[in-house]
Amino acid sequence: MNLRHTMKGRTVLTAVAITTGLVLTVAGCGGGGDDDQPDKTASSAPAENNDKGNDQGKESEAAEPDQVLAESQQDDISLAITSAVRDQGGFVTVSGRVTNNGSKLFAAADWRGDENELSKNASSVAGASLVDQAGKKKYLILRDTEGRCLCTRFVGGIRAGESADWYAQFPAPPEGTTKVSFQVGSMPPASFELSEGE
C-alpha cells in the first residue's frame, strides 16, 4: 500500500511540475501585458525593434570607415582592406570590399595574375600579393592542389554601382614583420599593418 501511495504521489507531483512549466513557458512567450490595445502594441513593438536595429546599423556604418586599414583606387574601381589577420596556421587572411563606381561591368580580368597555374581563376584576386618592403619579400596567394586560389571569385563580375566583399590568404611573413602592402593587377599598392589572430 505504501508503495502504491508513493507512486501515485510521484505521478501527481510530476504532472504538477510539467503543468507549471508549461504555464510559465506560455506566460513568458505571451508578452501581451495589461494593454487593452493589442494592435497598437503589435505595431509599436516592431517599430521599436526596427529603430534599435537601425541605430545599431547606423553605429556599425559609422564605425565601418574607421575599420578601413588601407584603400587603393584606379579609375572607377575602389579596393578597401578592412581586415588583415595573422592566423596560427602560418598564413595571413586579408579581406575587404571592392566597389565599382563606373558605368560598366568590372570583371577583374587582370587581377587573376599572369601565371599559367592561375588560368582557372578568372574574375578573382588570384594574382594578388603581399609585399614586405623591409624584408624585401613578396608573398603570393595560397592555392590548392588544382591551382585554385584561396580567395574570392567575382562570379559574373561586379556590376556598375555595386560592391562585393573579398578575401585572400597568403603565407605569413615572419613574426617581426607587421607592415606589408597589398598589390593586385595594376592597382596602386595599399600599405597596412597586420593584426594577430586569436
pLDDT tens sequence across 134-169 = 888 999 999 888 888 899 888 888 999 999 999 999
Same domain, 77 and 169: yes
Same domain, 113 and 15: no
Identify whether 149 is part of a domain: yes
Confidence of residue 88 (pLDDT cuts 50, 70, 90): confident
Q: What is the mean pLDDT of residues 33-57?
A: 45
Confidence of residue 80 (pLDDT cuts 50, 70, 90): very high
Same domain, 46 and 132: no
pLDDT score for 134: 84
If one counts the domains in the chain, the total is 2
Same domain, 137 and 47: no
Q: Is the pLDDT of residue 82 over 90?
A: yes
Same domain, 49 and 97: no
Same domain, 95 and 188: yes
CA 21 centroid distance within chain: 39
Identify whether 30 is part of a domain: no
Same domain, 130 and 45: no
The domain in which residue 135 lies consists of: 68-196
CATH of the domain at 150: 2.60.40
CB 182 within 8 A of CB 81: yes
Same domain, 57 and 72: no
